[in-house]
Amino acid sequence: MILNLYKHDYKKMSKILNYMYVITLAFALVTRIVSIWENVKLIFIIKQVLAGFTIAGAVNIIVNTFVHILKNVITSFYKDESYLTHTLPVSKTQLLVSKYLSAITLVVVSVLVCFISLVTVYYSPETITMLKTLISATLLEFNMSVEAFIVMVVLLLLFQTLALTTLSFVAIIKGYSYNEKRILFGLIWFFVIYIVSGIVMLIVSAIILALQGNAHELLSETISQQTFKTIVIVATVCYALYSVVYFFTANKLFNKGVNVD
Amino acid sequence: MNVLQINNLNKSFQNKQVLKDISFTIKPNRIVGLLGKNGCGKTTILKIVNDLLTKDSGSVLVMGNPISVETKKLISYLPERSYLDSDSKVIEVIKFFETFYSDFNKDKARKLLKELGLDENARLAKMSKGMKEKVGLVLVMSRSAKLYVLDEPLGGVDPATRDVVLKTILSNFDDGASMLITTHIISDVESILDDVIFINDGKIILQGEAETLREEHGASIDEIFRRLLK
């Protein structure tokens, strides 16, 4: 049943985004083809414009991905469609898990489409070398390989996205437990939890750095390799833990029941 | 066993109590009319029975089960509002119901669509309110449920079509099943009701068998309703 729910949710969430994927990938492809003749000045200008459209498309995809996830959760759980959602013979946990999984899938697909589009437009051995040199220069003080840095950043971004997605679910469910000004209350809950979580993360980082004897680096302009690694690892672990905590909080609140319009 | 048993049900929105100590039961094979003016609490009761609202106190049991996934398998609910995805085609919605409800009969649904003159390949967005309500009714009546809950099923249907809709309702619900139907257009449904529950301002003001009430008051259910809520 969860698989059927997941398919249905993903299909609904991705409906409009699929068109955006095709358009952005098409712009990326045309940009790439046009760049074969970029030595001609006019073609170069056209290529730059098309590349701009591709970037705009990628930004549009990322923004719309989150807009569609939030819109789908609200309409499916609390608007007219909720009359179907909540009368289906499935548990509230299944409904939530399905929404969560489809949201994660949508984020991953959107990021992949954006990545492929940008690689299509900008990939060349020279660009890769330039990027590697740039990152290596930045990481020189940290004695860290480019690959390790990329893995750390990707993991951090992944868990941060998961945490923010689940936090949005908590905020929506909490906001809609009120009888009025539900969106406003949802936003307030989102920011309150986000700020408290951030403060907790900062305190944990400070404690660990103090134990390492590096607490003073939090206030200095430059940080050591160990401090950098500690901060990134603490943030990644915290976001991973927050994702779990937020999900169980959302599930507990949702299972208390809904009050639809 | 009672199909539906509601005891001392209370519900408030902010400081306003919209349901006050509601208690009634529905026995098997009965069609029960929940009658009252707009905003008297009829839909609130149905929403609580269908897990769309939380109750403040009291109990709701469907075939002896508290509201849960199990009760959702037993209830076929037609809400007052259009709740189907308007971007979908009728046939897609039928497939959706077939996927999620093990008691859904696809062939029966297609047959009913034909009888009501609806095209299964039509998109819901292109349909009128009345047509969408008919699609909703087809979906609900194509399930073999224990309790059919219909909220104002005649609300958006023109007077000429009401008889067809009522015939569809009557001829398509299973033996042993019961039906809870809300309406404020009593004259149209009076003939099909076994029991009636009059509700006003969140309270039950009268309930009983339709025939007994007619005899006791020497008037039709519609007339009793008008007298009570004058």
3-state secondary structure of A216: helix
CA–CA dist A100, B51 (Å, integer): 21
How many beta carbons lie within 10 A of that of residue A234, not counting itself? 18
Dihedral sign computed on CA atoms, order A156, A157, A162, A164? positive
B72 contacts A89? CB cut-off 8 A: yes
Mutant choice from B52, B65, B135 vs A, greatest count of A C-beta within 10 A:
B52
Report pLDDT digits (tens) over A159-190: 999 999 999 999 999 999 988 889 999 999 99
**CA neighbours closer than 13 Å in the CB half-sphere of residue A28:** 21
Q: Which of B28, B44, B24, B57 is nearest to B208 (CA)?
A: B24
A83 contacts B81? CB cut-off 8 A: yes
Q: Is A258 in the B-facing interface, judged by CB distances under 8 Å?
A: yes
Residue B139 is predicted with a pLDDT of 94
Residue A155 is predicted with a pLDDT of 93
Q: Which residues of B touch A260 (CB under 8 A)?
A: 47, 52-53
Q: Which residues are registered as beta bridge partners of B4?
A: B26, B62
First to last CA, chain A: 26
Mutant choice from A5, A13, A81, A83 vs B, greatest count of B C-beta within 10 A:
A83
What is the model's pTM? 0.89
- Interfacial A residues in 198-227 facing B (CB < 8 Å): none
Report pLDDT digits (tens) over B46-56: 999 999 999 99
Note whether B74 and B147 are within 8 A (CB): yes
CA–CA dist B133, B6 (Å, integer): 28
**CA angle, A24 then A29 then A33, to 5°:** 150
Residue B19 is predicted with a pLDDT of 95
Q: Which residues of A178-191 are buried (b: 16+ CB within 10 A; e: fewer)?
A: eeeebeebbeebbe
Smallest CA–CA separation between A183 and chain B, in Å?
A: 18
Q: What strand order describes the sheet that includes B31-35? A: B75-78, B147-151, B178-183, B31-35, B195-200, B203-209
Q: Which residues of A touch B149 (CB under 8 A)?
A: none
Residue B119, by phi and psi: left (phi above 0), alpha (psi -120 to 50) or beta? beta
- Interfacial A residues in 14-53 facing B (CB < 8 Å): 15
Of B13, B52, B82, the CB nearest to A86: B52
Using the predicted structure, report yes or no on whether residue B185 has a pLDDT greater than 90: no
The domain segmentation of chain A, as residue ranges, is 1-123, 141-261
A83 contacts B83? CB cut-off 8 A: yes
Q: Which of A64, A59, A73 is nearest to A101 (CA)?
A: A73
CA–CA dist A150, A163 (Å, integer): 20
CA–CA dist A164, A103 (Å, integer): 11
**CA neighbours closer than 13 Å in the CB half-sphere of residue B68:** 7
Note whether B74 and B62 are within 8 A (CB): yes
Using the predicted structure, report yes or no on whether residue B180 has a pLDDT greater than 80: yes
Mutant choice from B19, B48, B74, B85 vs A, greatest count of A C-beta within 10 A:
B85
Dihedral sign computed on CA atoms, order A140, A145, A151, A154? positive
**CA neighbours closer than 13 Å in the CB half-sphere of residue A211:** 6
Q: For chain A, 261 residues long, give each residue's pLDDT as a single digit of tens.
A: 889 999 999 999 998 999 999 999 999 999 999 888 878 888 889 989 999 999 999 999 999 999 999 999 999 999 999 999 999 999 999 999 999 999 999 999 999 999 999 999 998 888 888 888 888 877 776 777 888 888 888 999 999 999 999 999 999 999 999 888 899 999 999 999 999 999 999 999 999 999 988 888 877 877 887 888 888 999 999 999 999 999 999 999 999 999 888
- Helical spans, DSSP H, in B88-128: 90-100, 106-115
List the domains of chain B with CATH numbers. Answer: 4-228 (3.40.50.300)
CA–CA dist A190, A171 (Å, integer): 5
Note whether B194 and B33 are within 8 A (CB): no
- Chain Cα centroid distance, residue B93: 20
Q: Is A109 in the B-facing interface, judged by CB distances under 8 Å?
A: no
- The tokens describing A211, both together, are 């134990």
CA–CA dist A11, A1 (Å, integer): 15
CA–CA dist B221, A144 (Å, integer): 84
CA–CA dist B87, A230 (Å, integer): 50
Q: Which residues contact A40 (CB under 8 A, 6 or more apart)?
A: none
Q: Which of B123, B155, B160 is nearest to B137 (CA)?
A: B155
Report pLDDT digits (tens) over B16-66: 899 999 999 999 999 999 998 888 899 999 999 999 999 999 999 999 999
What chain A residue is nearest to B13 in terms of C-alpha separation? Answer: A179
H/E stretch holding B181 reads strand B178-183
Of A80, A87, A179, the CB nearest to B72: A87
Residue A93 is predicted with a pLDDT of 96
